[in-house]
Structure 1
Amino acid sequence: MKKTSRLLPAKLLMATLALGAIQAHAATSMSDADILNILKQRVDTDKKAVGLVVGIVDEKGSRVISYGYANLAERRPVDGDTLFEIGSITSAFTGVAMMDMAEKSEVRLKEPIETYLPDGVRIPYYEDRKITLSDLSSHRSGLPAVPGTPGTGTDNPYAGFTTSKAYEFLGSYQMRYDVGSRYLYSSLGNGLLGQVLSQRAGTDYETLIKNRVTTPLGMTATSVNLNADLQKRMATGYSSKAQFTVAPTWNFSAFEGAGGLHSSANDMLKFLAANMDQTKTPLNGTMHKLQMPFEIGNRLLLVWGGYNNKFNSSILGLEGRTGGYSSYIAFDKKAGKGVVILSNADVSVADIGNKIINTDFPLAQ
């Protein structure tokens, strides 16, 4: 009896804590009306957006909430089928393609990338450590955020950055840090990874992503180049630097893996649901591997970087930004919530996404 009396309070305490956790979790839910009010506030009052489309995956299933305009002049409203530039979220697609190729023994994640590039291409390295596929995907390559010699201007930093110019830049670049020694986000690294995988697959980047990711997931509105029908659905991008003037479209030339994809909320919901195991697809296992630490003793993940554990969350997220667009995709599998937000203005929307997943996260002021 004494043994039982000692254990019972502990069990009751655990049950109480579990109940409290469930109640706390339930309290973080937002209604669709609350979400719509946030979008209206951001567009009408704060003037930090033109059009916003939110795709949500939770216990209710998948749905879209939208507000604002795809084009200010035409007053055309945004909806779940409106297309946007998704910027660096493109790297999530690149990562899935990479892991798919690794699972099929077409590449090895710890192999130096020069193995898969044409002879004569010089890749910078620090001392004896060479850049691998996993270094590019985890942003530990030591490469800079953007090319040191941008194309036609800062409004479109990758314009004209052809494959030959990219190789020329890499061949002359002097590394500042040891490869693998630190996390330094690199859009250039994302672009190079897409180039390496495309070279290995013997195709262009768009075909690589179509074959490895979008077609298996049934995504029909996610691509680099837009046909006439998709172009009609494209939102106009706006720069916040001059009170929402039309921004130039970004052209990533041969480095589409840095951010060349366009997509819609309805299409991105398929990608989000697959990452959350809410739908059964051929890529569920591949995506799951990207959500686990790549190396023993190192919590850094390929593609996603790491979990956001604030406010007892466990969120994986990626933000994208180009000259006239911003985007965010995030999910908390433990909470069963995921969100994708697409905007045709270059102002971050990550705070909205985190708020939808867990209301303890504050909105930007």
Structure 2
Amino acid sequence: MFAARVLFGFLLACSGALGAAPDDATLMALLKERVDDRRWATGVVLGITAPTGNRLLSYGTFGIDDARPVGGDTVFEVASLTKIFTALLLADMAERGKLKIDAPVTTCLHDVMLPSRHGKQITFLDLATHSSGLPLRPTNLASQTGANKYAAYTTTQMFQGLSTYTLERDIGSSFEYSNWGYGLLGHALARCADTSYAALLQQRITGPLRMSDTQIALSAQMKSRMATGHNEQFEPVGPQYMGALVGAAGLFSTANDLLVLIESFVGRKQTALAPAMSRMLTPRRAGDDPSTQMGLGWRITTDQDEQIVWSNGRSDGSRAFMGFNPRTRIGVVALANAATNAGADDIGRHVLDPRQQPLRRHPRIELSASLLERYLGDYRFEDGAKLRIVRDGDLMVSQWRSKQDEDQGASLIHPESERVFNLDDVEARLVFELPVEGKANAVTLEQNGLSFKAERVK
């Protein structure tokens, strides 16, 4: 099991009978805790659609220096929630007979050289389920880190990078989350329709559903309603632009607009897109944890007989979540204006399945600087995934990398004892093997009853 994927994937934290839906007072307390205590945003908006009607709860402000209260019409970067729109475009084109989901992507890109493996070509289905074998980011990106890293990436660069990339695993064999793949998918669909991605999106989805606040290019009016983003250091940052990878994470939207989309998925709003929406849940491939399968764009996670369908995203300055429970026909949107690994995702999941509890705040103690130095270093899991423990001033940070050495994110960690550190934004902990003197020998990641040991390598 790929340890970092377990950490950042979606594993169910509890079991038993499905509980009652959380009430407004409970949810508002959680939103306040996100802003006032954890400082995971200056503003959070939660939208819920249910058979009893819609609810919208919000707390906080547009920014550190902007005291306007956030609400349903506040504009956020929705990051990888864009992938749901791209996958819906794919399903819609298949429903209308414009393409076949299992056809090679070169069906629409005759003049583009794409990587293949053992004679097999990448299909639309492979891209939409993150099983194409393409990595998270383009290998010819100018920088794999830093703010706004995709903005200057052009279509020409994308195709150049793809033409020389060698796939490291069989196409369709395993899950690997890929912005590169979804950028390619968005461009291929636009080429099939002989238009731009933005025009196709407006023609087929946002126009018919009257989602006027869901856009790639911000109007002046939308800019005036946009929450300021904040980076991991809680500093204000500008919007993240995606260049040629707009189909992966290029959209801006509001909670009110995204609720329209979710209402359509649960059948509360009638739309000609209903067959395409249903088709998105039909193909199933392996997801990024044992409980999760991939549909077209959507993750489908099962606990006993209960399923939730969901997606999330993170930009340089935001966190977004949306999903729905097909049985209860409850849907949720959660938007926060800071780049964290959690945002309000867990609150959204709690709404969809109340057995799943929001992240807890664990006890914390202070340790001496000399003791903290003993944990620092690099550790490797059995499957090749890596963990680095570093200090950022007085803070301790866990940095996660895949066995392909791709960035898997970072989390603050806080000591509960001399051996146990809890992750700040994931319900998991690190247990260090600490000798009487010297550096820690190893560390074990514990989460949801699973344990993964990593030995010190540096």
> CA–CA distance in 1 between the matches of 2:103 and 2:284?
14
Structure 1 counterpart SS, 2:56: strand
More helix by share: 1
- Structure 1 gap segments, 5+ residues each: 1-22
Which of 229, 253, 264 lines up with 2:221 in the alignment? 229
Structure 2 counterpart SS, 1:53: strand
> CA–CA distance in 1 between the matches of 2:174 and 2:304?
26
Q: Does 1:363 align with 2:353?
A: no
Q: Does 1:129 align with 2:120?
A: yes
Matches within 5 A, 1:317-328: 317-328=310-321
> RCO higher in 1 or 2 (8 Å CA, sep ≥ 6)?
1
Q: Aligned residues, how many?
A: 336
Are the equivalent residues in 2 in contact too, given 1:216–1:283 (CA < 8 A)? Answer: no
Amino acid at match of 1:112: P
Deviation at 1:294, TM superposition (A): 5.4
Range moving further from structure 2, 152-161 or 226-235: 152-161
Range moving further from structure 2, 32-41 or 146-155: 146-155
> Normalised by the size of structure 2, how large is the TM-score?
0.71
Q: Does 1:303 align with 2:297?
A: yes
Are the equivalent residues in 1 in contact too, given 2:17–2:355 (CA < 8 A)? Answer: no
Q: In structure 2, do the counterparts of structure 1 residues 321 and 300 end up closer, same or farther at CA, with 3 Å as the change threshold?
A: closer
Structure 2 counterpart SS, 1:329: strand
Structure 2 counterpart SS, 1:254: helix
Matches within 5 A, 1:215-364: 215-240=207-232, 242=233, 244-293=234-283, 300-305=294-299, 307-310=300-303, 312-347=305-340, 348=342, 349-364=344-359
> CA–CA distance in 1 between the matches of 2:142 and 2:67?
33
> CA–CA distance in 2 between the matches of 1:151 and 1:36?
42
Structure 2 counterpart SS, 1:361: coil
> CA–CA distance in 1 between the matches of 2:349 and 2:137?
27
Q: Does 1:43 align with 2:35?
A: yes
Query: Which residue pairs with 1:65 in the alignment?
Result: 57
> CA–CA distance in 2 between the matches of 1:56 and 1:299?
24
Deviation at 1:300, TM superposition (A): 4.0
Matches within 5 A, 1:153-164: 154-164=146-156
Query: Which residue pairs with 2:191 in the alignment?
Result: 199
Q: Does 1:211 align with 2:203?
A: yes
- Structure 2 gap segments, 5+ residues each: 1-15, 286-291, 361-458
Matches within 5 A, 1:6-85: 24-25=17-18, 27-85=19-77
> CA–CA distance in 2 between the matches of 1:322 and 1:355?
23
Structure 2 counterpart SS, 1:63: strand
Structure 2 counterpart SS, 1:68: strand
Deviation at 1:217, TM superposition (A): 1.2
Are the equivalent residues in 2 in contact too, given 1:135–1:141 (CA < 8 A)? Answer: yes
Superimposed CA distance per residue, residues 22-48 of structure 1 (whole angstroms, 9 cap, x where no aligned partner): x954x4211111111100011101222
> Normalised by the size of structure 1, how large is the TM-score?
0.88
CA RMSD of aligned residues (A): 1.8
Structure 2 counterpart SS, 1:255: helix
More strand by share: 2
Q: In structure 2, do the counterparts of structure 1 residues 294 and 212 end up closer, same or farther at CA, with 3 Å as the change threshold?
A: farther
